[in-house]
Amino acid sequence: MAQILHEKDSVRLRKVLVQLLARSESDDCLLCDSGGHVLALEGASKHDPFLISALGAGIFGASRELARMLGENEFSAVLHQGEHRSIFLRAVDADTLLVMIFSRSANVGLVKLYSTPAVDDLRQILADIQHGPSVPGPEDSRPFVLSPDAQLFSLRKE
Amino acid sequence: MSFVNFKKKEVQFKLVYYGPGLCGKTTNLQVIHRLINPEARGDLTSIATAGERTLFFDFMPLVANAIEGFQTRFQLYTVPGQVMYNLTRRMVLRGVDGVVFVADSQWSKMSENVESFANLEENLRLQSETLQTLPHVLQYNKRDLPDVAPVHFMEFMLNNGAVRQSSFPAVATTGEGVFEALNMVARLVLHKFMTVHNRKEEGACELALV
């Protein structure tokens, strides 16, 4: 089964991330699932969101196992602090992760503080998506079609 | 599981290269990275030990023009093959859409192949997935080495289910059998996605994040 994010849900998720970005003075905010898929992204940096998502999901999965070993349900957040940039990962629900990247001009306390209401909002939106009625737009309900010139992967031309 | 973002017009799939230690999973990704059209790929990221053994996973995103009106992304992962890293393999398998099982063709590695294949089945079972419904192909690697088992023997050992899967003899270091396996698993994943999604659209549109 596919995870499907319709346009109206993307807009709701984006609104939360935009607000979080502004309040916390972070560079990037990214929402990903435990499989490493990027659900939503806001920010202007040049980091590859797909790589951040893959590694973030990996880090969080590893920390969850460490928590389990120590008898905790989970570590709800992980902070990697660097000299110039830091990354803060926080669980939204059992399968979704919020990743925030911020520079040293941002305050780590504010990042943590503002992530709390944002996570609550995101959790609510994800619950609405999972349990709410389906109202896809007309564009969203068209069947998928393979491209007539569909090319998968081929060798580079010498 | 695949992820569709209608706003960004993007579909994401996750492909995992699985197999025993030193069978050539990372080599597959390295060769794809080296030989594929550069516009179709991102960077290859490896988290390895000092001895170049995969510690966590390798990761490389690929982009294909496969679904009309959508950018189609295939995220390629490998798992660490060493037996002790089973928790990491489970983690990497989460949300998988397709698997390339890389087997080492050497006679001496046959029991490790079988063990790894059983480990794949067990780890999938733990996430309520099964090879009977998950798109997958087999790649019999290292065919250039001496003392390799015949392909029909490898089929007997690894490809003996009710439905015979596609399999590819390969020499990953040269690229032989690498793109064939990648393209086949990508096609199988796309076919399953089209079948499941379009069937659902014919009935009620179900919105789900599960």
Interchain CB distance below 8 Å, B73 and A50: yes
Q: What is the CA radius of gyration of chain A?
A: 18
pLDDT > 90? residue A62: no
- Most B CBs within 10 Å, among A14, A47, A153, A154, to test the B interface: A153
Q: Residue A147 and residue B65: Cβ atoms within 8 Å?
A: yes
- With CB atoms and an 8 Å threshold, state whether A147 touches B32: no
Q: Tell me: the pLDDT tens digits for B124-152?
A: 999 999 999 999 999 999 999 999 999 99
Average per-residue pLDDT for chain B: 91
| A131 in B contact zone (CB under 8 Å) | no
Instruction: Give exposure, B35-71, as e/b (b: 16+ Cβ within 10 Å).
Output: bbeeebbbebbbeeeeeeebebbbbbbbbbebbeebe
Distance, in Å, from the CA atom of B172 to the CA atom of B205, rounded to the nearest integer, reads 42
Alpha-carbon distance B160 to B114, whole Å? 12
Q: What is the pLDDT of residues A5-26, one digit of tens each?
A: 999 999 999 999 999 999 999 9
- Backbone angles phi and psi of A94, in degrees to 5: -60, -20
Residues in chain A closer than 8 A to B43 (CB atoms):
48, 51
Give me the domains of chain A, ranges plus CATH numbers: 7-134 (3.30.450.30)
Interchain pair B4, A4: CB under 8 A: yes
CA B9 to the chain's CA centroid: 24
Whole-number Å distance between alpha carbons of A148 and A136 = 26
Residues 34-63 of B with CB under 8 A from A: 35-38, 40, 42-43, 45, 56-57, 59, 61-62
Dihedral of CA atoms B47, B50, B52, B56 in degrees, nearest 10, equals -30
Distance separating alpha carbons of residues B71 and B8, to the nearest angstrom: 9
User: Do B40 and A36 count as a contact with CB atoms less than 8 A apart?
Assistant: no
For the domain covering B3-202, report its CATH number.
Answer: 3.40.50.300
The predicted pLDDT at position A150 comes to 66
Query: Has residue B57 got a pLDDT over 50?
Result: yes
Residues in chain B within 8 Å Cβ distance of A7: 6-7
From chain B, pick out residues whose CB is under 8 angstroms from the CB of A38.
Answer: 3, 12
Give the closest of B67, B182, B204 to A144, CB-based. B67
Please give the span between the terminal C-alpha atoms of chain A, in angstroms, as a whole number: 39
CB atoms within 10 A of CB A132: 11
Cα separation, B108 vs A142, whole angstroms: 52
| Chain A, window 10-69: residues with a beta carbon less than 8 angstroms from a chain B beta carbon | 10-11, 33-39, 48, 50-51, 54-55, 57-58, 61-62, 65
pLDDT 10s digits, B143-200: 999 999 999 999 999 999 889 999 999 999 999 999 999 999 999 999 999 998 887 6
Amino acid at A61: G
- pLDDT at B52 (0 to 100): 74
Phi and psi of B163, rounded to 5°?
Answer: -110, 120
Residue pLDDT, tens place only, A74-117: 889 999 999 999 999 999 998 999 999 999 999 999 999 999 99
Nearest-CA neighbor of A138 among A6, A2, A5? A6
Which one is predicted more confidently, B203 or A150?
A: A150
Query: A61-100: string of b/e by CB count within 10 Å (b at 16+)?
Result: bebbeeeeeeeeeebebbeeeeeebbbbbbbbeebbbbbb
In 3D space, the residue among A100, A81, A74 whose CA is nearest the CA of residue A89 turns out to be A100
If phi > 0 it is left, if psi is from -120 to 50 it is alpha, else beta; for residue B184 that is alpha
Q: Give residue for tokens 């059992």.
A: A94
Question: What's the pLDDT tens digit per position in B12-22?
Answer: 999 999 999 99
Q: What is the mean pLDDT of chain A?
A: 89
Helix (H, G, I), strand (E, B) or coil at A28: strand
> What is the pLDDT at residue B188?
96
pLDDT category, A156, cuts 50, 70, 90? confident
**What residue type is A120 in one-letter code?**
D
The domain limits of chain B are 3-202
DSSP state of B145: S
Tell me how close the Cα of B136 comes to any Cα of chain A, in angstroms. 16
Q: According to the model, what pLDDT value does residue B205 have?
A: 38
pLDDT band at B25 (very low <50, low <70, confident <90, very high): very high
Asked whether B104 and B24 are in contact (CB, 8 A), the reply is yes
Under a CB-based contact definition with an 8 Å cutoff, are residues A96 and A109 in contact?
A: no
B23, A44 Cβ separation under 8 angstroms: no
Determine the Cα–Cα distance for residues B61 and B87; give it in Å rounded to an integer: 23
Q: Which residues of chain B make contact with A11, given a CB cutoff of 8 A?
A: 7
Closest listed residue to residue B142, CA positions, set B181, B168, B115? B168
Q: How confident is the model at residue B210 (pLDDT cuts 50, 70, 90)?
A: very low
* Tokens of residue B11, six digits: 């579909």
Give dist(CA A37, CA A96) in Å, integer: 10
pLDDT band for position B209 (50/70/90)?
A: very low
Residue range B69-98: average pLDDT?
93
